[in-house]
Amino acid sequence: MINKVFILFLLSTVFVFGQENQEKSQKEKFSITVSSTHLIDPWDGSSIRIGIEKPLNNFIINLEAGKYIANSWSIKPNIKGYILNPIVKFKVYTNDNGVTEYVGVDYLYKDFSHDTNDSIKINNVTINKDYRVSRKVHAVSLKYFQRKDFNKHFFYDFYVGLGIRFTSSQSDLTEEERYDILNDEYHGATQIENEINRTGKFFRPNIYCGVKFGYRIF
């Protein structure tokens, strides 16, 4: 529900400011962006993320959507799900080298699931159990962008960001099985794996660093 309200707010912002800046906006229509950083991501899971971007006066609206891709080397096997990522970027400065700086507000929504396994001890019997973890993530962050134009159409963005994310996670284990997971180093569980397989509701810091490529449509 939260992600839908936020996206509707962004779309209404595009409409309102688009009316006020219609004459200037007609000079530059839309851009298509592709996030290269997430194509190979062993921790979060590889994903294809494509965005549509619209400049409005001194700020930019970017609406990005993505889909997770399962691969053999990810720490989250057989991952499935989608991503929604609306961003508002405000222009700060353009230097003598043609690099434009932006600061932005970023909202990220993820809905995904993946396979995993754990050692579980029930009635003094230890078994290795395969199961599936499902998660929904809401994150809000502040980002800093540097944009460099290759030519009239092609450009790239380098960005870093910091924020907070809320995760709601559950698995298809029974309550007894969840309670009896042996999540220590003696049973092959690392701290990263324990965090990835964790269930419940919790907050974590959100850190960004990446590159996007874009193409302007005039």
Q: Is the pLDDT of residue 172 over 50?
A: yes
Q: Has this prediction a pTM greater than 0.95?
A: no
Please provide the average confidence, as pLDDT, over all residues in the chain: 86
Q: Which residues pair with 137 in a beta bridge?
A: 110, 167
Query: Picking from 5-14, 61-70, 73-82, 170-179, which range would have the lowest pLDDT averaged per residue?
Result: 5-14
Query: For the chain, which residues make up each domain, given as ranges?
Result: 2-217
Of 106, 108, 126, residue with least CA distance to 117: 126
**Strands 80-94 and 99-122, sheet pairing:** antiparallel
Q: Write out the H or E segment, with its range, that includes residue 63.
A: strand 59-68
pLDDT digits (tens, 9 = 90+) for 76-89: 999 999 999 999 99
Q: Is the pLDDT of residue 194 over 50?
A: yes
Residue 24: the pLDDT is: 47
Q: Domain 2-217, what fold?
A: Porin (2.40.160)
Residue 10: the pLDDT is: 52
- Give the highest mean pLDDT range of 11-15, 54-58, 60-64: 60-64
Percent of the chain with pLDDT over 70: 84
Q: Is the pLDDT of residue 102 over 60?
A: yes
Question: How many residues comprise the chain?
Answer: 218
Dist. CA 133–CA 11, nearest whole Å:
32
**C-alpha dihedral over 97, 102, 107, 110, to 10 degrees?**
10
Dist. CA 179–CA 182, nearest whole Å:
9
